[in-house]
Amino acid sequence: MKKIFLPAFLLVCLTVAAQKKPVTHDVYDGWKSLGEKLISSDGQYAVYAINPQEGDGELIIQQMISQEKTTVPRGYGSIITEDSRFVVFKIKPVFQDTRQAKIKKKKADDMPKDSIGIIELGKAGMVKMARVKSFKTPEKGFGWVAYQMEKPLPDTSKKSKKAAIDTAKTNVDLLMKLADSILRKSVNAANTGKLTNEEVIKAVNKAAKEIIKKGKDEISAGEALPNDAEGDDSPGSGAAGEGTDLVVRRLSDGKEITFKLVGDYVFDKKGSRLLVETTKAAKDSNSIAYVMIYNLATEKTDTIMRGLNDGKNFSFDEEGNQLAFVAERDSSTKALQKFYKLWYYTNFSDSAKMIADKNTVGMKLGSTISENGAVKFSKDGKKLFFGTTAIMAPKDTTLVDFELARLDIWHYNDDYLQPMQLKNLKNELNRSYMAVIKPGDDKMVQLGDEDAENITLVDEGNAGWVLAESNKGNRIELQWAGRTKTTAYAISTLNARRILIATNNIANFTPSPSGKYVYWYQPETKNYFTWNASTGVIKNTSDKIKEPLFDIENDVPDYPRAAGFIGWTANDQYMLINDVFDIWQVDPNGYEQPKNLTNGYGKKNKTEFNYVKLDPEKRFIDADENILLRSQDKTSKYGGFYTKTVNEAGDPLLLTSGPFSYGAPVKAKKQTGIWYSVPISVKTNCIFQQI
């Protein structure tokens, strides 16, 4: 038996080895990954994308209970409407078509374009529109989608008519040469006595009639040719800034309305209004641009501004009752200097009004409203944040570019090396500094500056101060240290008064959700610190924790990174931080003893825990909340999920574990069920399971 078994075993092994496919570029080009993942608000449907390394991916819409799937080839960028009724997504062109277009170096307008698809969940069929540039839906509303079309394709019929005329002209030239030849032969024949004069005249008249008839037939092909013989007036061939059609579609019945020459469009968060900005028509010098508000409920349009040259950074407040944007409307198209102004509109106004410009009280001398700075209302709508920038000197048009000598000069005390300066030049020219104004006031407050260039809003802008950070004066050491030291301030939104928080620190500063503290991890001491906004006191909040709060496996010549910061409990009462394995509850004032919420379970079982944030809009953790933790067993490398109640020490409860690398969980808004993705194989990629 042994003699027979051994050759058979070797034969099987050799056969299997012979069948192994060599790993080439083609093999790993086909490896797939899980892309976007969405769950409908009612928890009934999941939408996810499966993408190869190279080639065409697919979008899958899956019913969670029945596991029934709908596959959309090349779908991506999907959203599920808030009412869980529709999926809207884009569809890429075929990969090979795009690849060939790139190889042929086609212009951007001639490249294959995306389409948009709309599927009603639970029903068959798909609505599809070709050549769509972008689409938007309300962030917290439903029932509508707006999609903007690409430039229309050129009218090839005009070119064909021009080609017909060219052909006709060529044919007429040939006919004229033929007629000339006939006449010459006829005259020569008459001179030799072969034809009588009457026969020559008859032959010439006959040839002339044929020539005239054929010439008319050829030219008639181009009779409808317009004045634009060169085809340069074709649709969509205008200036780059000319807008395109915007289609607003009501999803319930498919009713649509189209706005022409749209440059930008924005829904308010609740989906009650749509802002539409139009542009001038490139071929019509008398056309003007508009800013309009389309009321989705009444289907009526109100014009709030007309005659602008450019509008940017449109922003509604949380309730959709206020609107702000920057616009320039006073200069000519070719003006060397353009001054933008800040405009404000409410639902009770007839039109938008200017509330800030370069002459507004509080504007720094030599500065103006920035076209690149973000415009944003505070959460309560009482403050409006925007950007300012230095007024740039107009370009000297008397100088000829090719006659100018160009020289880059670097000094060893410059903030950045010369190549870095050139790399960042565009960003620096577009840099803006945050300012704030209260709607209705006639003065603004400048918050940011060259030594406070990075501003973070506190309590979503509701707080009376903002966090400012700057590395000015500490940038040279970036060349050898790989990082810069930061100085942090609290700046009042009322009068721009500064309070120093910390100076020349390598930490990253962050405000607490309610704005009571600023916190940071200090790499040198490997501890967490807080700055109390009401007292100005700085506390080391984690020095009583004896477990390492940093990556103990750090193997580079640098400070180890923090093990992790989870978040804050309600009203900024406690901080939740990670050590290598477990989770701690820490008093930001440093009075209470830190509490090990996971009871040392992680260290005991060599299991690492990380908090899973299921609601991206939630800014804090409730004191008695049952949170979800993603785990990894450092010994077996198994992944899993646990739950743990905040504010009480105890072992976490295991939900699931296995030899998997689990995908990020998602939670339906109207259900308690939490779904996570489990990798199955390279082919099927994953399935969704519920915990």
253-279 pLDDT, tens per residue?
999 999 999 999 999 999 999 999 999
- Of the three residues 91, 120, 137, the one that is the final residue of a domain is 137
User: Is 609 among the domain residues?
Assistant: yes
- Please, which residues bridge with residue 659 across strands? none
* 52 and 45 Cβ atoms separated by less than 8 Å: no
Q: What is the pLDDT of residue 231?
A: 38
User: Is 83 among the domain residues?
Assistant: yes
The single residue listed with the structure tokens 């009588």 is 196
User: What total number of domains does the chain contain?
Assistant: 2
User: Is 532 among the domain residues?
Assistant: yes
352-368: pLDDT as tens digits: 999 999 999 999 999 99
297-310: pLDDT as tens digits: 999 999 999 999 99
**What is the total residue count of the chain?**
691
Answer whether residue 672 shows pLDDT above 60.
no
The confidence band for 167, taking pLDDT boundaries of 50, 70 and 90, is low
Tell me the pLDDT of the chain averaged across its residues. 86
- Full domain range(s) for residue 95: 31-137
Nearest to 247 by CA among 227, 273, 220, 265: 265
User: Is 645 among the domain residues?
Assistant: yes
User: Is 95 among the domain residues?
Assistant: yes
- Of the three residues 72, 102, 137, the one that is the final residue of a domain is 137
- Of the three residues 102, 137, 172, the one that is the final residue of a domain is 137
Answer whether residue 47 shows pLDDT above 70.
yes
Q: d(Cα 42, Cα 670) in Å, to the nearest integer?
A: 5
User: Is 267 among the domain residues?
Assistant: no
DSSP 367: E
User: Is 668 among the domain residues?
Assistant: no
The single residue listed with the structure tokens 């496919």 is 21
| C-beta neighbour count of 691 within 10 angstroms | 12
Q: What is the pLDDT of residue 194?
A: 59
User: Is 69 among the domain residues?
Assistant: yes
* 433 and 448 Cβ atoms separated by less than 8 Å: yes
Answer whether residue 247 shows pLDDT above 50.
yes
What ranges in 1-49 are assigned the alpha helix state H?
2-19, 25-29
